[in-house]
């Protein structure tokens, strides 16, 4: 949620760097954006509604500045609510990620002291809190420390002071990274390294309850006691090209097609490490898989996979509900968290609960040095590369591949797991071709004006029906629901009327029952779409999937749903990379 950038140097105009950096963070929020720079001890501000990539900014003078792209939480999408926010003296500017849970009581106290508020946001109180402290001679660093300790919730904020030309940032729960380019004496700051990866790969990480003061050189401090901290400069591996669209029209389409390679990349893990984690799983007394949104559906899939392959019972819990299960946590319990970003607030809070109980934590993530990897006892990187589209595609199938491989390892069948997943990757590579995409696009043309779509699956394909519904809703804004095929007659079949699209996800074994479900809805007028390796007379439209091992069929079945969602969104005129009201990294509760 929301993206922060900052830039400090001796010579260059800051605005072009800030704009370029913020464009790379639009997946974090794209309701509105703003910048502030300093020149002649004055703040120069630009704030606009919309995406920074589609709006022209006026020139702002100055070689130091900060910027923000917003995903609205407190206050409507208006220019007044857009960051940065300023104090009454117009010398302090603030950008902020997170939610300040106690902002109302703080705001009331500041109003009593004579402060004037212009926005509906929680962020604006930060500027006024610092103004109040500086009024009585407190240093900017000490004021930021005090403010950070006062506010409640998971937050990160950056302050720019017009008179001292200092940038100072505080983190507690929301990521901030500092980039250093020594040869040109440039310092970058951002919520995500992608903001400046094309300019430098030398970084320092700000950890929770720490702050950084940027003026000439970054200085790091413990925000609890003000003591200076020495930080190690880390060189980051990775290619800038990973985050570019290349020849594709949209990031989502590129990332769907990337699955030709990413499934293989995901299972390219060290065998000894896989077996070590498998041993931890086999010896644990209670196993919980947790995640949010699409990652939660992967956890649900893992519940089935471990049952089928390893004869092992695991518990899947949506991360936001995990605290209700804390009474079952023991030091011998294992919690496995799945996330693309590694920064999802609900997941991090669930892991803090697990830590308090002494439980071991394993994370499956796509971003190294994320908050999740730091809190975990062990982490697997899914190696999917940068995923910019908000709707997760290649990260999802990579997560599914790793959980499948872990299940095989727990069963003592790691080599067999490698074989089935390599076989799947080859067949996905063959499947993703232009003719296949055109076939799915034709289906989208048939159903894109419908307002309700149902998806059914059984067994391993039931969690995929739920993820399919998420994908369709995220990108096309069509109402979609996934159901277990056996539950149709217990209520959902009442939703079926003439022409209702019903997508049937078919496995490669024991297909009779789900085909019977297809016939049941067809008899009530449904337009039946079969996603299966073989055609059936119950299907009005057939999307062929490869004939794979039963365990990997759900991964193969999900990919055409991703393509269908993409084309439905395009045909309905939506921004498929950045759907409304959604953000890639959900760093607030």
Active-site annotation, residues:
2, 584
| Sequence-separated (6 or more) residues with CB below 8 Å from residue 227 | 221
CA distance 9 to 589: 35
Residue bearing tokens 């199938």: 397
| Sequence-separated (6 or more) residues with CB below 8 Å from residue 449 | none
Candidates 146, 162, 134, 122; CA nearest to 211 is 146
Strands ordered across the beta sheet of 360-365: 315-318, 287-291, 334-338, 360-365, 378-381
Secondary structure (DSSP) of 143-166 = HHHHHHHHS-SSEEEEEEETTTTE
213: left (phi over 0), alpha (psi -120 to 50) or beta: beta
CB 68 within 8 A of CB 21: no
**H or E segment to which residue 140 belongs:** helix 140-150
Token pair in block for residue 17? 């760097």
Secondary structure (DSSP) of 198-237 = TT--EEEEEPTTEEEEEESEEEEEETTT--EE----EEPP
Q: List b or e across 32-56, with b for residues whose CB sees 16 or more CB atoms inside 10 angstroms.
A: bbbbbbbbeeebbbbbbeebbeeee
List helix spans (H) across 243-387: 251-257, 259-266, 271-283, 294-310, 345-356, 371-375
3-state secondary structure of 446: helix
CB 338 within 8 A of CB 266: no
CA distance 371 to 537: 50
CA distance 531 to 536: 10
Secondary structure (DSSP) of 14-56 = HHHHHHHHHHTTGGG--SEEEEEEEETTEEEEEEEES-GGGSP
CA dihedral 47, 157, 119, 152 (to 10 degrees): 160
């Amino acid at each position: 949620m929301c993206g922060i950038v900052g830039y400090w140097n001796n010579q260059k105009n800051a605005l072009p760097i800030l704009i370029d950096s913020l464009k790379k963070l639009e997946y974090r929020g794209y309701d509105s954006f703003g910048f502030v720079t300093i020149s002649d001890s004055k703040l120069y501000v630009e704030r606009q509604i919309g995406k920074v990539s589609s709006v022209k900014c006026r020139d702002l003078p100055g070689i130091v500045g900060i910027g923000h792209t917003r995903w609205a939480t407190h206050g409507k999408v208006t220019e007044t609510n857009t960051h940065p926010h300023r104090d009454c003296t117009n010398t302090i500017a603030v950008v902020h990620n997170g939610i300040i849970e106690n902002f109302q009581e703080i705001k009331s106290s500041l109003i009593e002291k004579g402060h004037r508020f212009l926005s509906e946001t929680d962020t604006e109180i930060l500027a006024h809190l610092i103004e109040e402290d500086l009024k009585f001679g407190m240093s900017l660093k000490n004021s930021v420390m005090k403010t950070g300790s006062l506010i409640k919730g998971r937050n990160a904020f950056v302050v720019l002071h017009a008179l001292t030309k200092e940038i100072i940032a505080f983190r507690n729960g929301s990521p901030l990274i500092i980039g250093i380019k020594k040869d040109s004496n440039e310092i970058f700051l951002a919520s995500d390294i992608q903001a400046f990866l094309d300019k430098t790969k030398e970084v320092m990480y700000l950890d929770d309850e720490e702050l950084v003061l940027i003026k000439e050189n970054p200085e790091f401090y413990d925000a609890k006691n003000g003591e200076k901290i020495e930080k190690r400069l880390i060189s980051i591996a990775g290619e800038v090209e990973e985050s570019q669209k290349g020849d594709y029209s949209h990031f989502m389409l590129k990332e769907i097609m990337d699955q030709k390679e990413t499934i293989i990349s995901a299972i390219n893990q060290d065998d000894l490490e896989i077996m070590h984690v498998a041993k931890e799983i086999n010896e644990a007394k209670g196993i919980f898989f947790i995640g949010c949104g699409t990652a939660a559906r992967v956890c649900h899939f893992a519940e089935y996979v471990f049952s089928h392959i390893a004869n092992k019972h695991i518990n899947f819990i949506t991360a936001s509900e995990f605290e209700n299960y804390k009474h079952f946590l023991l030091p011998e319990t294992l919690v496995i968290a799945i996330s693309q970003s590694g920064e999802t607030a609900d997941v991090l809070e669930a892991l803090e609960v697990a830590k308090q109980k002494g439980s071991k934590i394993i994370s499956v993530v796509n971003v190294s040095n994320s908050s999740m990897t730091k809190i975990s006892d062990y982490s697997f990187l899914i190696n999917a590369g940068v995923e910019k589209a908000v709707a997760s595609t290649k990260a999802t199938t990579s997560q599914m591949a790793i959980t499948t491989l872990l299940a095989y390892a727990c069963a003592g069948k790691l080599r067999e797991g490698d074989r089935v997943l390599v076989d799947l990757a080859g067949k996905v590579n063959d499947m993703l071709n232009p003719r296949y995409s055109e076939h799915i696009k034709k289906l989208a043309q048939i159903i894109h004006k419908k307002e309700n779509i149902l998806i059914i699956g059984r067994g391993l394909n039931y969690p995929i029906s739920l993820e399919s519904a998420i994908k369709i809703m995220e990108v096309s804004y069509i109402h979609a629901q996934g159901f277990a095929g056996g539950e149709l007659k217990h209520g959902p079949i009442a939703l079926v009327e003439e022409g209702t699209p019903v997508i049937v996800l078919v496995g490669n074994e024991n297909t009779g029952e789900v085909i019977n479900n297809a016939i049941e809805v067809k008899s009530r007028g449904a337009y039946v779409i079969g996603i299966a390796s073989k055609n059936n007379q119950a299907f009005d439209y057939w999307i062929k999937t490869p004939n794979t091992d039963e365990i990997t069929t759900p991964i193969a079945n999900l990919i055409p749903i991703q393509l269908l969602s993409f084309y439905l969104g395009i045909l309905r005129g939506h921004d498929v990379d950045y759907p409304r009201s959604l953000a890639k990294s959900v760093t607030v509760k």
